[in-house]
Each structure stands twice: as C-alpha cells, then as structure tokens.
Amino acid sequence: MSDGWSELHATIVAAAAGDAAAKERLVAACYTTVKARVHRELEQDFRKRHRWILPLFSTQDVVHEVLSAVVADLADTQFAGPEPFYAYLGTLVRHRLLDAVRFHEAARRDGRKLVEAPTAGLGAVAADAREATPTLAASLGERAGLVREALLELPERHRRLLELRLLEDATFPEVREALGYASDETARQAFLDAQARLLVKLRMRGFGKTLGG
C-alpha cells in the first residue's frame, strides 16, 4: 500500500469498528474527492435534462449527508485501493442526488397527488402502466410510491445492493466489487438481509407482492 492509502485504509478500518472520531476524519478526508467525482458524473446529464434543478439543491449537503451515513456502515467492506473506495462512495452519493431530483420533479407536476412510477431505480419494479386502464394505472403508481417510501428507510448501501441485483441483474462477484463486500458470500447474505428488510416494510404498507432474487 502507498502511504496515502495505508493511512486512509487505517481510518476505514477504525470507522468500521465504530470509532466516532475515525468516521469524522473519513468524511473529511473523502469529501473533496467524492464531491468532484459526483459533480463530474452528473454535470452533463443535468445540463441536458435537469437544468432547472441545479440551483435548488446543495450538492455539498447531499455529499456530506450520504458520506456520514455510509461511513457509519462500513462493516464487511474491503477495498483494494482508494479508487474502488471513492467509486463506491461516489455511486451512493450520486444515487441519493438522483433520488432527490426525481422527488422534486414529481412534486412539480400540477398538484397531482399520485407519484408516477419512475423509469429508473427500484421504484420501477411496480410495473409499466402505459397500457393499463386508469384504475390499474393508479394502483401501479400507488405501489411504486410505496416501494419508494420503503426504500428511503433503508441504508444507502442496501438500496444500491437491491438495485444492482433486482434491476441490473448483477452477479454477487460484481456486487462485491461495486460495494466493497469482503466476499461473494457476504454480498449474498447482505442481499438476502436487504431484501427481507424491504419486504417487511412493504408488507407494513399493505404491499404483498414478493420481490424476486
């Protein structure tokens, strides 16, 4: 390991063990790099399709919020170097920001109370209502809203894990690499746990359909 990575890695290990001071140091150490990465990845998309949204969100707040949440949940993570670690953090921050964009866009729709099914993200599991009857379309949209609400109660890492498996059909080795799990089996167990937690939250909302794994 390089000296820089050795120091960062030691901080990651300490944070994963529950050291509050290490968690704060890790957020501070990663903030600038992760913020730059997220800005770079989102800038082109925002300019094309979300120009109006840019003044309405403080990316700084989002980055700090998500980083704080992520470093509190680093158990069973393992990264080969700084690049995979920063990529992991950047992915979770990016998804949180895109979620914020989707929610804000939904709120702008002519006072409609029904949140339409998203075209990306786990909310899309509710189904495509383009050819449904008005009653069925409303039901599907309502279910998408329930999925979205339940997902927001899960940790960032679990949300991304479910998205990788359920929407992107990622293998467990791919999940392990993307999210820094220590092994393929650890990634698999984490997926089962995340799926179970989501199903419990959905059933509490009256959503009985089982999600496939």
d(CA 27, CA 61): 12
Q: Where in the chain is the domain with CATH 1.10.10.10?
A: 109-213
Q: Are 52 and 66 in contact (CB under 8 A)?
A: no
Helices (H), ranges, the chain: 3-16, 20-49, 59-71, 82-107, 134-152, 156-166, 172-179, 184-204
* Model pLDDT for residues 6-55, shown as the tens digit of each residue: 999 999 999 989 999 999 999 999 999 998 888 787 776 666 665 555 55
User: Which position has the higher pLDDT, 146 or 123?
Assistant: 146
* Model pLDDT for residues 104-145, shown as the tens digit of each residue: 555 555 444 444 444 444 444 443 333 344 454 444 455 666
**Residue 92 has what pLDDT?**
86
Q: Are 71 and 26 in contact (CB under 8 A)?
A: yes
Domain 109-213 has CATH 1.20.1560.10: no
Mean pLDDT of the chain: 75
* Model pLDDT for residues 59-115, shown as the tens digit of each residue: 666 788 888 888 888 888 888 899 999 999 988 888 877 776 666 555 555 444 444
User: Which position has the higher pLDDT, 122 or 189?
Assistant: 189
Q: Residue 85 corresponds to which amino acid?
A: F
